[in-house]
Amino acid sequence: MKRIIFSEIEGRSAGFRGLAAVLGLFFLTGLAAVMYVEHAGHHVTGGSNQVVWGIPDVFAMFLIVSASGALNVAIISSVFRKTLYKPLERLSCLLAVAMLLGGLMILVLDLGRSDRVIVAMLNRNFKSVFAWNLYLYTGFIAIVVVYLWLQMERRMNRFVPAAGMAAFLWRLALTTGSGSIYGVLVAREAYDSAIMAPMFIAMSFSFGLAVYNLVLLAACRGSGREIGDVLLRRLGRLLGIFVAVVLYFTAVQHLANLYAAEHSGVERFILRDGGIYTLLFWGGQVIVGGLLPLLLVFVSSRRGSHLSGRTVALASMLVIVGAFSQLYVLIIGGQVYPLTLFPGMEVSSSFYDGVVASYAPSLPEIGLGLGGVALAGLVVLFGIKLLRFLPTTLVNAAIDPHHAAISDKA
């Protein structure tokens, strides 16, 4: 492989300024939404005593899980020694840190008393999964920043594989902790499952790569940098594999729950009788976020044809739509289904026992979620403008040693 040359983007175009303005507006909207909820009280949101995690948590979990997965592109290069992905390492680390910052912004500002997070930091309770995640998140940022510095400082490049292995193990622990938040909640029938941790790891692979693909394609197109079909084919097929793995774990989760009699009620709710949640599961998660990307990636890459940037971008966008559908069904659908206080008995009271709760996202909640996404976008946008995160070219001859060798012989 030829020596990789990285450079900043100019950031003087109308498109750059327009995108920065839009992201800045959404970020300020998120802050305004937080101030409004803090002043008026949480009754202005769609949450209730039954649904305490709303649409902001869907956005936050998407960003956190995707941050872990976006780092995989760098790990494939550093740990698994796939030189084709070497030019993509820096952007992978930047995107991972940016999305985690956006997700943490949503989580902290959605608490109601954001200052109370200091209590969790000073009073450690290691029996709580939430307490463990506090250290997993901050540790992830620290490790990835060091990992990125080692990549950018040529004298320290020999330590990159070791840092990559540390980042790989830490990102597995982080995603395991995120999945365990739901897996250890035995009171919620939709959550109580040991498969949550590995399924979240699989989701991170798929969601993170989908976001990475879109950011890479947008950044290269906006700055006039070329991407060869070799890299597009690899990224597209890798995304298809990860999507298939997520579908597999989803099938195992629901088949196992159907086998267990105590979970039959919530399975009927999600798979058949849940209304919007059933629609999002089958239409959004399975078809739009699963089957359609698989068809796009593997049918388009059949013998004699190549994956185009538009195909990879479309498949990635569909995966993201499916990701939000999956997390909405998991987080919101798992809460609206009533708690089983007395198995085998009908329960009803003035406290809505035995009743499927209702939830409708409010504008302040959506604003906060979009604000976190905008923060991640701003970090990436100004990161690639100020520092050398992007390679000058990603054409086949520059990144694929086999292609270069064939060209030389020709």
In our burial notation (b when 16+ CB lie closer than 10 A, e otherwise), range 224-262 reads ebebbebbbbbbbbbbbebbbbbbebbeebbeebeeeee
Residue 300: inside a domain, yes or no?
Answer: yes
Residue 31 lies in a domain: yes
Instruction: Give the single-character DSSP code of 227.
Output: B
- What is the chain's pLDDT, residue by residue, as a tens digit (410 residues)? 567 888 989 888 899 999 999 999 999 999 999 999 888 888 888 888 888 889 999 999 999 999 999 999 999 999 998 888 999 999 999 999 999 999 999 988 887 667 777 776 777 777 777 778 888 999 999 999 999 999 998 899 899 999 999 999 999 999 998 888 888 887 788 887 888 999 999 999 999 999 999 999 999 999 999 998 889 999 999 999 999 999 999 999 999 888 877 778 888 999 998 899 999 999 999 999 999 999 999 887 665 567 788 999 999 999 999 999 999 999 999 898 887 766 667 767 666 667 788 899 999 999 999 999 999 999 999 999 999 999 998 888 777 766 554 444 43
The predicted pLDDT at position 405 comes to 45
In a domain, 18, yes or no: yes
Q: What is the CATH number of the domain that holds 345?
A: 1.20.1630.10
Contacts of 116 (CB under 8 A, 6+ apart): none
Q: Is residue 1 part of a domain?
A: no
Q: Is residue 57 part of a domain?
A: yes
- Measure the CA–CA gap between 403 and 153, rounded to whole angstroms: 28
- Contact present, 369 and 58 (Cβ < 8 Å): yes
Between CA 151 and CA 160 the distance in angstroms is 6
CB-count burial class (<10 Å; 0-12, 13-18, 19+) for 334: buried
The torsion angles phi and psi of 162, rounded to 5 degrees, stand at -65, -40
Distance CA(108)–CA(219), nearest Å, equals 29
| d(C-alpha 358, C-alpha 48), whole Å | 9
Element (H, E) at 160: helix 160-183
CA distance 307 to 234: 9
User: Does residue 204 fall inside a structural domain?
Assistant: yes
What's the pLDDT score for residue 406? 42
In a domain, 329, yes or no: yes
d(CA 299, CA 305): 9
Q: Specify whether the CB–CB gap between 131 and 120 falls below 8 A.
A: yes
Q: How far apart are CA 53 and CA 129, in angstroms?
A: 16
pTM: 0.92
Q: Which of 286, 284, 272, 280 is nearest to 243 (CA)?
A: 286
Give strand pairing partners of 394.
227
pLDDT score, position 409:
43
Pairwise CA distance, residues 91 & 225, whole Å: 14
Structure tokens at 349: 């009271």
* CA dihedral angle for residue 120, residue 122, residue 125, residue 131, rounded to 10 degrees: 40
Name the domain count of the chain. Answer: 1
**Length of the chain measured in residues:** 410
> Could you tell me if residue 192 is inside a domain?
yes
Q: What is the rounded (10 degree) CA torsion for 157, 163, 164, 168?
A: -170
The H-or-E segment that residue 174 falls in is helix 160-183
Report the C-alpha gap between 280 and 295 in whole angstroms. Answer: 20
Residue span of the structural domain in which 71 resides: 6-356+365-409
